[in-house]
């Protein structure tokens, strides 16, 4: 099939160039304005969707334990995988990534890894044997121009909300790594020292005219481009100018100054979005905690080695357990069993589970909730069934299910449920961000 | 039949909340984001593009499906999904309208909590409609599972799929709505609504399988009503 890249017509090209000479952009922006940025997150941590004007990028972070590189035995690894999905642009073919895809991957990679934005040494578990390998998948869903900036923001947002499972070194020889289930021990956030923000400039008309955040039409018409990855402290993490129009050094310096201003602005937007997401999650978990706190529960750890046995193990402990505190979603996850390692597809399902209940205190931002009150493992009665999907469903569904379920031993069950029903009004999910056109409420079917 | 409660509190016939967003993407000719509970799939359609791939019949249009998982490399599972989707969509598209063209459908898994294949099929059917590709009828897909006591549960999620002995993904054509609303409903059910696609996992008895089909068929008319409303809303908003 022949090249399907969108090529501008002569009229479009001239229109864009002439408008820029009068300092007008086709979409009405000023030369140094970014488009509207919208960051939303998925159910589980580590999943982000960024919309920069028409450009749409999905970021997803996973981690697994691997052997470290020989020359860096006490550092974890970070890898960025970029997917130019054919849905973003008719010119993107599935299969081998084109040169712009590789360039994007390299620029984002340099900005994050080589600037040491993510702390690698904290990802080490057993030096020389086990370290966490963090993998960031960036899927370009819609090419509206300026993919590098949007992908960079998606990667940062996803890394900020990603939580890796906690693991301890133990066992007989002190070398065995035990990975803890997320509901047993709270998963930990990554240590991010600073946020390198990529700002892309497009040059027109022999390098005289500069605009920030070009749309795909402007990109097709531009003479050259430069991406400056800069953080809010003003440190330049990376500059990428691959060919194109020659630009005077004075103009380049001006661009860098503009970039540092923009970087500060975008950093605050990302931080705000991440903060609201994490506090929302923490609130949901805190509200699930009943007024009367139970006694200490036995903590089961799911060992890395035997995934199948681990499930049985948690279930037998459940049977012997007396207390029931959780609002049901804990055992929903326990029933899925399995280790929380993300390399496994099942673990991924666990992360996407409709888990809303169960307190855990991974959130570094929440104040006023004491560690001891939250760090209780939730291993409820096997008789309890969970109402994990209640997040999406309407209120009547919730009360109906709470009547039907056996929330046995906990006296605060009823109180907890009414709180949960209240909670229904406010929870936001990725779906809310997407503006569902037609929300289907619960379906009661009485088919024979 | 006894009132069995599922792990997440739904009754056996209860589906998760559905939502369909029309045309969230700007570059694609048609796109749809279909969510069933936590399972979310984004489908984009480009087409018809000129030319067919080698090996395809040039007298008909051909459909090309690309499935993108959320993470990891493309493996056999993804290839299988692509093949199932391609065959399903080929059966609903009117292939002779645009011969020697390729319509490509790209799917991106945004969230996976069970019933992924039915969600993807629903999303791609909606995306094809938004793109304006001529179709014979719509497809409605549903996942059904069989519990130990023989109850058929609809719209399985990941936990249920892992525990159940067997489950099936079924695709039906949409229910017909007659312009003359005086026709009684029973007559509609007499129409032979054949099964377009069926993918089963695990072992189930013949009776269980036919139970699944019967339940799926009943549920599919509700899903097709939902689809019809969404598509009508999109169409009217486009015209306005």
pLDDT of A429 over the 60 cut: no
Angstroms from B196 CA to nearest CA on chain A: 22
Q: Which residues of A touch B222 (CB under 8 A)?
A: 443, 445
Does any CB of chain A come closer than 8 Å to the CB of residue B233?
Answer: yes
Inter-chain contact B218–A135, Cβ cutoff 8 Å? no
Q: Which residues of A touch B101 (CB under 8 A)?
A: none
Q: pLDDT value at position A430?
A: 53
pLDDT classification of A421: cutoffs 50, 70, 90? very low
Question: Burial, B152: exposed, middle or buried (Cβ in 10 Å; 0-12, 13-18, 19+)?
Answer: buried
Highest mean predicted confidence (pLDDT) among A3-7, A292-296, A387-391: A3-7
pLDDT of A367 over the 60 cut: no
Higher pLDDT, A402 or B219: B219
Q: Is residue B5 one of the residues assigned to a domain?
A: no
Mapped onto helix, strand or coil, the DSSP state of residue A133 is: strand
**Domain harbouring B121, CATH code:** 3.30.230.70
Give the max Cα distance, chain B: 56
Higher pLDDT, A348 or A31: A31
Q: pLDDT value at position B17?
A: 92
Cα gap A446→A426, rounded to integer Å: 30
Cα gap A387→A327, rounded to integer Å: 8
Which residue of B lies nearest to A59 if distances are taken between CA atoms? B70
Q: Which of B1, B12, B19 to mutate to test the interface with A (most CBs of A within 10 A)?
A: B19
Task: Examine residue A368 and say whether the peptide bond preceding it is cis (omega within 30 degrees of 0).
Answer: no
pLDDT of B87 over the 80 cut: yes
pLDDT of A356 over the 90 cut: no
Question: Burial, B240: exposed, middle or buried (Cβ in 10 Å; 0-12, 13-18, 19+)?
Answer: exposed
Q: pLDDT value at position A37?
A: 95
pLDDT of A408 over the 80 cut: no
Does any CB of chain A come closer than 8 Å to the CB of residue B207?
Answer: no
Q: Is residue B200 one of the residues assigned to a domain?
A: yes
Average pLDDT value for residue range A93-105:
86
Residue with token string 């169960």: A358
The DSSP string of chain B is ---PPPTTS--TTPPPPEEEEE---SSSSEEEEEEETTEEEEEEEEEEEES--TTS-TTS-EEEEEEE-SSS---HHHHHHHHHHHHHHHHHB-TTSSTTEEEEEEEEEEE-SS-HHHHHHHHHHHHHHHHT--BSS-EEEEEEEE-TTS-EEES--HHHHHHSSEEEEEEEEPPP--SSTTS-HHHHHHS-----EEEEEE---HHHHHHHHHHHHHHHHHHHHHHHHHHHHHHHHHH-
Q: pLDDT value at position B150?
A: 82
Q: pLDDT value at position A252?
A: 93
**Which pLDDT tens digit goes with each residue over A213-243?**
999 999 999 999 999 999 999 899 999 998 8
Q: Which residues of B touch A60 (CB under 8 A)?
A: 70-71
pLDDT of A314 over the 50 cut: no
Cα gap A6→A92, rounded to integer Å: 11
**Which pLDDT tens digit goes with each residue over A158-187?**
999 999 988 888 776 767 788 888 778 888
Cα gap B128→B31, rounded to integer Å: 7
The H or E element that residue A102 is part of is: helix A99-109
Mapped onto helix, strand or coil, the DSSP state of residue A283 is: helix
Q: pLDDT value at position A184?
A: 81
**Which pLDDT tens digit goes with each residue over B107-119?**
999 999 989 999 9
Angstroms from B126 CA to nearest CA on chain A: 13
pLDDT classification of A289: cutoffs 50, 70, 90? low
pLDDT of A390 over the 50 cut: no
Angstroms from A79 CA to nearest CA on chain B: 12
Cα gap B182→B173, rounded to integer Å: 22
A41 forms beta bridges with A48
Mapped onto helix, strand or coil, the DSSP state of residue A175 is: coil
pLDDT of B221 over the 50 cut: yes
Q: pLDDT value at position A152?
A: 95
Q: Which of B1, B3, B17 to mutate to test the interface with A (most CBs of A within 10 A)?
A: B17
Among B residues 112-171, those touching chain A with beta carbons less than 8 Å apart: 112-114, 157-159, 162-163
First to last CA, chain A: 52
Q: pLDDT value at position A215?
A: 94
- Taking CA atoms, A297 is separated from A28, A165, A285, B18, in Å, by 61, 20, 18, 38
Q: pLDDT value at position A182?
A: 78
Inter-chain contact B70–A348, Cβ cutoff 8 Å? yes
Q: Considering chain A, what is the average pLDDT of its residues?
A: 73
Q: pLDDT value at position A412?
A: 41
Cα gap B235→B240, rounded to integer Å: 9
Q: Is residue B64 one of the residues assigned to a domain?
A: yes
Q: Which residues of A touch B11 (CB under 8 A)?
A: 444
pLDDT classification of A405: cutoffs 50, 70, 90? very low
- Taking CA atoms, B82 is separated from A190, A446, B49, B76, in Å, by 35, 34, 19, 10
Q: Which of B1, B2, B6, B9 to mutate to test the interface with A (most CBs of A within 10 A)?
A: B9
pLDDT classification of B179: cutoffs 50, 70, 90? low
Q: pLDDT value at position B234?
A: 83
Q: Which of A346, A352, A430 sits opposite B113 (nearest CB)?
A: A352
Q: Is residue A338 one of the residues assigned to a domain?
A: no
Mapped onto helix, strand or coil, the DSSP state of residue A124 is: strand
Q: Which of B27, B38, B108 sits opposite A43 (nearest CB)?
A: B38
Q: Is residue A333 one of the residues assigned to a domain?
A: no
pLDDT classification of B69: cutoffs 50, 70, 90? very high
Q: Is residue B57 one of the residues assigned to a domain?
A: yes
Cα gap B14→B7, rounded to integer Å: 12
Q: pLDDT value at position B127?
A: 95
Which residue of A lies nearest to B107 if distances are taken between CA atoms? A87
Q: Is residue A100 one of the residues assigned to a domain?
A: yes
Cα gap B225→A406, rounded to integer Å: 35
Q: Which of A1, A94, A440 sits opposite B19 (nearest CB)?
A: A440
Q: pLDDT value at position B151?
A: 86
Q: Which of B18, B33, B112 sits opposite A440 (nearest CB)?
A: B18
Q: Is residue B185 one of the residues assigned to a domain?
A: no
Expressed as residue numbers, the domain containing B105 is 21-175+191-239
Does any CB of chain A come closer than 8 Å to the CB of residue B70?
Answer: yes
Residue with token string 């291993």: A379
pLDDT classification of B174: cutoffs 50, 70, 90? confident
pLDDT classification of A295: cutoffs 50, 70, 90? very low
Residues 6+ apart with CB under 8 A from A216: A6, A54, A89, A143, A144, A145, B27
Q: pLDDT value at position A181?
A: 80
- Lookup: tokens for A241: 């100018």
Q: Is residue A183 one of the residues assigned to a domain?
A: yes
Cα gap B117→B14, rounded to integer Å: 18
Which residue of A lies nearest to B39 if distances are taken between CA atoms? A352
Q: Is residue B11 one of the residues assigned to a domain?
A: no
Q: Is residue B53 one of the residues assigned to a domain?
A: yes
Inter-chain contact A4–B22, Cβ cutoff 8 Å? no
pLDDT classification of B239: cutoffs 50, 70, 90? low
Inter-chain contact B66–A94, Cβ cutoff 8 Å? yes
Higher pLDDT, B190 or B152: B152
Q: Which residues of A touch B3 (CB under 8 A)?
A: 404
Angstroms from A220 CA to nearest CA on chain B: 15
The DSSP string of A18-53 is HHHHTT--TTS--TT----EEEEE-SSTTEEEEEET
The H or E element that residue A285 is part of is: helix A249-288
pLDDT of A376 over the 80 cut: no
Interface predicted TM-score of the whole assembly (ipTM), two decimals = 0.87
The residue count of chain B comes to: 240
- Of A246-250, A443-447, B123-127, B182-186, which gets the smallest average pLDDT? A443-447
Q: Is residue A354 one of the residues assigned to a domain?
A: no
pLDDT above 90 covers a percentage of chain B that reads 52
Average pLDDT value for residue range A252-258:
94
**Domain harbouring A162, CATH code:** 3.30.230.70
Rounded to 5 degrees, what angle do the CA atoms A402, A406, A409 make?
115
Rounded to 5 degrees, what angle do the CA atoms B81, B83, B87 make?
120
Among B residues 2-41, those touching chain A with beta carbons less than 8 Å apart: 3, 5-11, 13-22, 24-28, 31, 33, 35, 37-38, 40
The DSSP string of A309-347 is HHHHHHHHHHHH-----S-SHHHHHHHH-S---TTSHHH
Residues 6+ apart with CB under 8 A from B55: none
Q: Is residue A402 one of the residues assigned to a domain?
A: no
Q: Is residue A41 one of the residues assigned to a domain?
A: yes
Expressed as residue numbers, the domain containing A85 is 10-284
Interhelix angle A99-109/A147-161, rounded to 10 degrees, is: 50
Q: How many domains does chain B have?
A: 1
Inter-chain contact B9–A88, Cβ cutoff 8 Å? no
Q: Is residue A24 one of the residues assigned to a domain?
A: yes
Q: How many domains does chain A have?
A: 1
Is A259 in contact with A342 (CB distance < 8 Å)?
no
- Of A17-21, A23-27, A303-307, which gets the smallest average pLDDT? A303-307
Q: Which of A273, A272, A274, A267 lies closest to A363, judged by CA?
A: A274
The 3 state secondary structure assigned to B36-72 is ECCEEEEEEEEEEEECCCCCCCCCCCEEEEEEECCCC
């Amino acid at each position: 099939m022949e090249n399907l890249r969108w090529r501008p017509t002569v009229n479009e090209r001239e229109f864009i160039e002439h408008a820029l000479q009068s300092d007008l952009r086709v979409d009405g922006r000023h030369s140094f304005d970014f488009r509207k940025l919208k960051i939303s997150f998925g159910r589980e941590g580590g999943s982000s969707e960024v919309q920069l004007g028409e450009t749409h990028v999905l970021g997803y972070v996973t981690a697994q334990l691997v052997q470290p590189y020989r020359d860096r035995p006490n550092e974890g690894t970070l890898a960025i995988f970029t997917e130019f999905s054919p849905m973003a642009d008719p010119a993107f073919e599935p299969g081998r990534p084109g040169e712009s895809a590789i360039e994007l991957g390299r620029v984002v990679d340099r900005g994050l890894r080589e600037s040491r934005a993510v702390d690698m040494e904290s990802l080490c578990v057993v030096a020389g044997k086990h370290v966490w390998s963090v993998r960031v998948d960036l899927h370009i869903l819609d090419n509206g121009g300026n993919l590098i900036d949007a992908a960079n923001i998606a990667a940062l947002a996803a890394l900020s909300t990603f939580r890796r499972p906690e693991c301890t070194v133990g066992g007989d020889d002190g070398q065995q790594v035990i990975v803890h289930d997320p509901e047993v021990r709270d998963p930990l956030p990554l240590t991010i020292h600073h946020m390198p923000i990529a700002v892309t400039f497009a040059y027109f008309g022999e390098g005289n005219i500069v605009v920030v955040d070009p749309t795909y039409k402007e990109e097709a018409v531009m003479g050259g481009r430069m991406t400056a990855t800069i953080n809010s402290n003003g440190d330049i993490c990376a500059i990428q100018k691959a060919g194109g129009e020659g630009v005077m050094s004075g103009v380049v310096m001006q661009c860098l100054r503009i970039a540092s201003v923009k970087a500060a602005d975008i950093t605050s937007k990302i931080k705000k979005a991440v903060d609201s997401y994490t506090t929302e999650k923490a609130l949901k978990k805190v509200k699930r905690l009943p007024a009367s706190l139970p006694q200490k529960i036995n903590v089961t750890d799911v060992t890395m080695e035997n995934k199948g046995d681990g499930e049985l193990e948690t279930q037998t402990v459940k049977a012997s357990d007396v207390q029931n505190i959780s609002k049901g979603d804990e055992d929903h996850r326990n029933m899925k069993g399995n280790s929380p390692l993300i390399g496994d597809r099942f673990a991924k399902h666990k992360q996407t589970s409709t888990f809303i209940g169960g307190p855990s205190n991974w959130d570094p931002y929440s104040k006023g909730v004491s560690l001891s009150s939250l760090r209780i493992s939730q291993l409820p009665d096997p008789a309890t069934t969970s109402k994990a999907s209640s997040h999406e469903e309407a209120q009547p569904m919730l009360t109906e299910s709470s009547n039907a379920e056996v929330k046995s031993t906990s006296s605060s069950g009823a109180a907890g449920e009414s709180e949960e029903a209240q909670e229904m009004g406010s929870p936001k999910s990725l779906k809310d961000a997407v503006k569902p056109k037609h929300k289907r409420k619960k379906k009661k079917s009485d088919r024979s | 039949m006894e009132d069995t409660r599922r792990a997440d509190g739904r009754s056996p016939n209860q589906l998760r909340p559905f939502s369909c967003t029309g045309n969230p993407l700007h570059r694609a000719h048609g796109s749809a984001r279909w969510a069933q509970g936590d399972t979310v799939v984004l489908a984009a359609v480009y087409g018809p593009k000129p030319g067919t791939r080698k090996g395809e019949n040039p007298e008909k249009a051909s459909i090309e499906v690309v499935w993108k998982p959320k993470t990891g490399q493309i493996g056999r599972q993804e290839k299988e999904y692509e093949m199932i989707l391609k065959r399903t969509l080929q059966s609903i598209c009117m292939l002779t309208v645009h011969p020697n063209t390729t319509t490509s459908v790209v799917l991106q898994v945004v969230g996976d909590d069970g019933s992924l294949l039915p969600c993807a099929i629903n999303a791609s059917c909606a995306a094809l409609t938004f793109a304006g590709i001529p179709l014979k009828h719509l497809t409605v897909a549903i996942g059904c599972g069989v519990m130990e006591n023989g109850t058929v549960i609809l719209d399985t999620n990941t936990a249920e799929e892992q525990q159940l002995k067997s489950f099936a993904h079924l695709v039906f054509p949409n229910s017909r709505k007659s312009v003359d609303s005086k026709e009684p409903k029973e007559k509609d059910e007499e129409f032979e609504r054949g099964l377009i696609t069926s993918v089963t996992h695990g072992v189930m008895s013949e009776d269980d399988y036919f139970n699944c089909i019967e339940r799926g068929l009943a549920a599919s008319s509700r899903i097709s009503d939902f689809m019809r409303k969404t598509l009508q809303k999109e169409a009217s908003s486009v015209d306005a």
